[in-house]
Amino acid sequence: MSKIIVNSLKEFASLEGTEIGVSDYMKINQDQISKFADATLDHQWIHTDPERAKETQFGSTIAHGYLTLSILPYLWEQIIEVNNIKMQVNYGIDKFKFMEAVRVNDEVRLKVKILSIKDLRGICKAEMLTTLEIKGRKKPAYVGHVLFLYHFK
């Protein structure tokens, strides 16, 4: 599926109710996990100690749940390009559940459905159903609603 290009709030609104696409796969490596641990001060051993983590049900270290959430904007931009905006703001998450651990070196991709587009006096509030799929696994890493505000020019 090719990237969707949106140039106006009206064009964005026309996507409401549509599954708009899937990103490319992205590999999560130990360096990313370790740097996220440093940035968030969350050095729990399940993320940072590969030897100890081998003894768990995962068999390796796992990515922080919030690391997998933090890559959402990067993967989102592979699915859609929203033009003619002054800025995009993360507005919130809702009905969000982490369902499966992302192990070191797993590959993940984002699948998105546009649930609603609201015009808030010229600001576009977009609510999307997001699913982070893990290559080779049936259960996704997470499923949840993500909200962005787009300030169109």
Segments in 24-99 forming alpha helices (H):
30-40, 45-48, 50-53, 65-70, 72-79
Q: Which fold has domain 4-28+63-152?
A: Thiol Ester Dehydrase; Chain A (3.10.129)
List the chain domain ranges.
Answer: 4-28+63-152
Distance CA(10)–CA(87), nearest Å, equals 17
Distance CA(47)–CA(63), nearest Å, equals 6
- Nearest residue to 119 via CA among 20, 10, 14: 10
The model's pTM is 0.93
Residue 1's pLDDT is what?
60
DSSP strand E in 70-106: where? 80-82, 85-98
pLDDT tens sequence across 7-50: 999 999 999 999 999 999 999 999 999 999 999 999 999 999 99
pLDDT tens sequence across 136-145: 999 999 999 9
CB 17 within 8 A of CB 52: no
Distance CA(38)–CA(71), nearest Å, equals 16
All residues at 6 or more sequence positions from 106 whose CB lies less than 8 Å from its CB, including other chains: 27, 28, 63, 134, 135
